[in-house]
Amino acid sequence: MLLEIKNLHVEAEGKEIVKGVSLTIKDGEQHVLMGPNGSGKTTLAKAIMGHPQLKITEGDILLDGESIKELKPNERAKRGIFLEFQNPTEIEGLGMMNFLNTARGAVGRTQSFKEFMGEVKETSERLKIKEDLMGRSLNHGFSGGEKKKTEILQMAILQPKIAILDEPDSGLDVDAVKVVAENVSAIQKKTDAGLLLITHYSRILNYMEPRFLHIMHDGRIVREGGKELIEDIEKNGYQFG
Amino acid sequence: MSYADFVNEATQYYQSLPYEGNDLYKKYSVSIPLPEKYGTGPDGIDSFVDLISEKTRIKFDAVITDSSAKSLNGMIRIVKAEETDDRVRESKIFRSVESKLAAYVNGHAQYFVLIEMPKGSKEKFDILFANSGSLSVQIIVTLQEGSGLRLSEIYASNSREGSTVSVMHEISAGRSAEVELNALHNENEKTSVLNLCKANAVDGARINANYIYCGGSATKAVGILDSHGHSSRIDVTEFAYGSVSQNFDLNTIILNSTPYSIADLNSGVVLDDASKCMLKGFAKVSEMAKGANSRITERGILLSKDAHIDALPDMAIDYSNEVKATHSAATSPIDEDALFYLTSRGIDEEKARKLFVTAFIAKYISRIDDPVIKEIAMSVMLDKLDTKAFGIISDITPRNIWMGGSNKR
């Protein structure tokens, strides 16, 4: 699957946040998007997913050559796009398993319920998610790390073709970062999904092999390169004009 | 006679316990008809009772209608109004000075239901209240030391003309006694509901009261629940789901009267169409209540631009140190961020909305410990969510949402 973002301009509450971003993500590719706070990374991620309060004023988002910018979020998810949320919503009263089961049905995963349960159990173990979390309400009362891990669990269950991970490493301890990174890579390898990883820290990249690194500033991608950019950023900062 | 006849009186009963005399509460108030006479409505109540019994699959311990009352359990004593003696009449702890509504129900009750739990005994009872005409009942529950009771009540009506169901609970929980009261009100659109409760928990006792309202054209509830003994605990959950033009006026007062007592009021509302609800939770922490914990939480979801919630949580704290006291209220339409989250997982918007509201409802229904009444309450809510209908229950049959098995007792 091919995701093409072409000269995308996005407004939130009348203010332009994303100011002409272009990006292409192919099957199996790992892309990393970095940049200072407020540079528009999360807005870009939400716009790709179709957040109803964001307005695309110019440009387009193409999936396998077809524009998806008019599609609702659920329609984009059904076509294989997944967004890991920086701050996942808590919904007390909605059971984790009920939610996961509903979501996997919605995106068309047709494995039997028994297979689904097995997949959840196996992935939870790999992610070191406490067993009792699956019996609780969606993200309700979860720690920051638990939320991040259950987002990756959702990615594993929904098996997207394009996964956008918005800071999956923030708030995680060293061990958890490794667990999350290794699981993301494993899921990606299994599904051959294209990946856009948004992060502030290079630590997670020690466990991944991104070929493409993009630096965003003030709504635009201002630098691009390979993993070698990380060392430069670590040493010299973002160095904006 | 109407509720307004009472509230227009100038008398202020308690400054610190807002009640029907309080000006603010008078402003946010629902009037319901209070009949002079109660009695038998149109025929057909027996078949209606059979229908409810069949659908719920509950073998009720007592069935009380506007035309008859029958107890199938020796521990539930039902006394007709004309057969009461002074002892029954005056056993009430809900003094008339606190509420003329209480005096009204006491004076008009057709039946007095008396449940007395002996020391150390444990029981669970299911009672069905069904009416075609107006029905008035006073229920007096006394728990002796260390006893336990789970009392679950289902209210349903097939009234074809305007009728009123007025019910008053008086619950007295003795030392270390535990009582769970579950009341599911699903009367039809021709019925108004007056629900009063006075409960009192002494040392180490616990009262867990759960009121679910989804029927009746107008519902007025007044409760005073007193955590009255050292380390006693009161938990009250009230939940209303309204549609069409239903009105709810829920006025619950929780009291911390003694040291280390706990009183917790959780109110939840979901309103659709042009329905309205007033939440008037009030907490009073007395000067004797060192180490007490008091909490009021009021939450509401509006599904329609014409629906309306007035949330008025309030507190009076006489002992200002060493107590925990919090109150909060929040009402809003369905959270847009939550909808985005759910739809980003492939779930269509309509289903996402339903999931969100169902989750909100489940949060309150799950506080009911009785597995059967919990299933029935949730099934009724889901049915209402699907159809917006209220009143005679089109699908009261438990859906095994939590239980995953047979609900037969």
Instruction: Report pLDDT digits (tens) over B263-276.
Output: 999 999 999 999 99
Q: Please tell me the distance from the alpha carbon of residue A90 to that of residue A70, in angstroms, as a whole number.
A: 27
Instruction: Please give the structure tokens belonging to residue B4.
Output: 């307004």
Is residue A66 classed as helix, strand or coil in its secondary structure? Answer: strand
Q: If 0-12 CB within 10 Å is exposed, 13-18 middle and 19+ buried, where does residue A8 land?
A: buried
Sheet strand arrangement including B262-271? B69-71, B62-65, B122-131, B148-157, B178-186, B206-213, B233-242, B262-271, B293-302, B324-332
Please write the tens of the pLDDT for every residue from B308-320: 999 999 998 887 6
- Weakest-pLDDT range from A49-58, B51-60, B203-212: B51-60
Rounded to a whole number of angstroms, the distance between the first and last alpha carbons of chain B is 42
Q: Are B283 and B253 in contact (CB under 8 A)?
A: yes
Percent of chain B predicted with pLDDT > 70: 87
Residue B343: its chain A contacts at CB < 8 A?
Answer: 72-74, 77
Of residues B94 and B196, which shows the higher confidence score? B196
Q: How many CA atoms lie within 13 A of A227 on its CB side?
A: 11
Q: For A18-40, what is the mean pLDDT?
A: 95
Could you tell me the pLDDT band of residue A201, with boundaries at 50, 70 and 90? confident
User: Which of A49, A74, A96, A97 is most worth mutating to test chain B (most B CB atoms within 10 A of its CB)?
Assistant: A74
Residue A51: its chain B contacts at CB < 8 A?
Answer: 340
Is A137 within 8 Å of B343 when comparing Cβ atoms?
no
Q: Are A121 and A97 in contact (CB under 8 A)?
A: no
Residue of B162, B272, B280 lying closest to B216 (CA atoms): B162
- Weakest-pLDDT range from A192-196, B13-17, B355-359: B13-17
Q: What is the ipTM of this complex?
A: 0.97
Min Cα distance A138 → chain B (Å) is: 10
pLDDT score at B406: 38
User: Which of A78, A86, A89, A142 is most worth mutating to test chain B (most B CB atoms within 10 A of its CB)?
Assistant: A89
Could you tell me the pLDDT band of residue B15, with boundaries at 50, 70 and 90? very low
pLDDT score at B199: 93
What integer best gives the mean pLDDT of chain B? 88
Q: Please tell me the distance from the alpha carbon of residue B296 to that of residue B256, in angstroms, as a whole number.
A: 12
pLDDT score at B4: 36
Could you tell me the pLDDT band of residue B101, with boundaries at 50, 70 and 90? confident
Q: For B323-342, what is the mean pLDDT?
A: 95
Q: Is it the case that residue B97 has pLDDT exceeding 60?
A: no
Could you tell me the pLDDT band of residue B13, with boundaries at 50, 70 and 90? very low
Q: Please tell me the distance from the alpha carbon of residue B264 to that of residue B366, in angstroms, as a whole number.
A: 16
The three-state DSSP-derived secondary structure of chain B is: CEHHHHHCCCCCCCCCCCCCCCHHHHHCCCCCECCCCCCCCCCCHHHHHHHHHHHHCCCCCEEEECCCEEECCCCEEEEEHHHCCHHHHCCCCCCCCCCHHHHHHHHHCCEEEEEEECCCCEEEEEEEEEECCCEEEEEEEEECCCCEEEEEEEEEECCCCCEEEEEEEEEEECCCCEEEEEEEEECCCCEEEEEEEEEEECCCCEEEEEEEECCCCEEEEEEEEEECCCCCEEEEEEEEEECCCCEEEEEEEEEECCCCCEEEEEEEEEECCCCEEEECCEEEECCCCCCCEEEEEEEEEECCCCCEEEECCEEEECCCCCCEEEEEEEEECCCHHHHHHHHCCCCCHHHHHHHHHHHHHHHHHCCCCCHHHHHHHHHHHHHHHHHCCCCCCCCCCCCCCCCCCCCCC
Q: Please tell me the distance from the alpha carbon of residue A222 to that of residue A216, in angstroms, as a whole number.
A: 6
Q: Is it the case that residue A166 has pLDDT exceeding 50?
A: yes
Residue A49: its chain B contacts at CB < 8 A?
Answer: 340, 344
Please write the tens of the pLDDT for every residue from B171-196: 999 999 999 999 999 999 999 999 99
Min Cα distance A201 → chain B (Å) is: 25
pLDDT score at A240: 64
Q: How far is CA B70 from the centre of its chain?
A: 23
Q: Please tell me the distance from the alpha carbon of residue B88 to that of residue B293, in angstroms, as a whole number.
A: 34
Q: Please tell me the distance from the alpha carbon of residue B380 to that of residue B315, in angstroms, as a whole number.
A: 33
Is A103 within 8 Å of B345 when comparing Cβ atoms?
yes
pLDDT score at B179: 98
Q: Is it the case that residue B17 has pLDDT exceeding 70?
A: no
pLDDT score at B299: 97
Is B349 within 8 Å of A154 when comparing Cβ atoms?
no
pLDDT score at B354: 95
Instruction: Please give the structure tokens belonging to residue B214.
Output: 């989804």
Element (H, E) at A153: helix A144-158
Residue of B281, B338, B352, B356 lying closest to B312 (CA atoms): B281
Could you give the C-alpha distances from A240 to A167, A215, A232, B21, B87, in angstroms and in order? Answer: 22, 10, 13, 68, 87
Q: Is it the case that residue B14 has pLDDT exceeding 50?
A: no
User: What DSSP designation does A203 have?
Assistant: G
Say which amino acid occupies A139: N
Q: What residues in chain B have their Cβ under 8 A from chain A's Cβ atoms?
A: 335-338, 340-349, 351-352, 355-356, 358-363, 366
Please write the tens of the pLDDT for every residue from A51-100: 999 999 999 999 999 999 999 999 999 999 999 999 999 999 999 999 99
pLDDT score at B153: 98
Q: For A214-228, what is the mean pLDDT?
A: 93
**Cβ neighbours of residue B61 closer than 8 Å, sequence gap 6 or more:** B71, B72, B73, B76, B125, B126, B127
Q: Please tell me the distance from the alpha carbon of residue B394 to that of residue B380, in angstroms, as a whole number.
A: 8
Is A107 within 8 Å of B346 when comparing Cβ atoms?
yes
Percent of chain B predicted with pLDDT > 90: 70
Could you tell me the pLDDT band of residue B122, with boundaries at 50, 70 and 90? very high
pLDDT score at B405: 37
Picking from B346, B349, B352, the nearest residue to A78 by CB comes out as B346
Could you tell me the pLDDT band of residue B139, with boundaries at 50, 70 and 90? very high
Could you tell me the pLDDT band of residue B91, with boundaries at 50, 70 and 90? low
Q: Could you give phi then psi for residue B386, rounded to 5 degrees?
A: -75, -40
Could you tell me the pLDDT band of residue B23, with boundaries at 50, 70 and 90? confident
Residue B351: its chain A contacts at CB < 8 A?
Answer: 102, 106
Q: Is it the case that residue A241 has pLDDT exceeding 90?
A: no
Min Cα distance B208 → chain A (Å) is: 20
pLDDT score at B372: 92
Please write the tens of the pLDDT for every residue from B219-235: 999 999 999 999 999 99
Q: Is it the case that residue B11 has pLDDT exceeding 50?
A: no
pLDDT score at A163: 97
Residue of A50, A89, A53, A55 lying closest to A73 (CA atoms): A50
Picking from B335, B345, B349, the nearest residue to A72 by CB comes out as B349
Rounded to a whole number of angstroms, the distance between the first and last alpha carbons of chain A is 36
Q: Is it the case that residue B398 has pLDDT exceeding 90?
A: no
pLDDT score at A230: 85
Picking from A50, A85, A94, the nearest residue to B359 by CB comes out as A94
Q: For B6-29, what is the mean pLDDT?
A: 56
Nearest C-alpha in B relative to A53: B336
Q: Please tell me the distance from the alpha carbon of residue B167 to that of residue B170, in angstroms, as a whole number.
A: 10
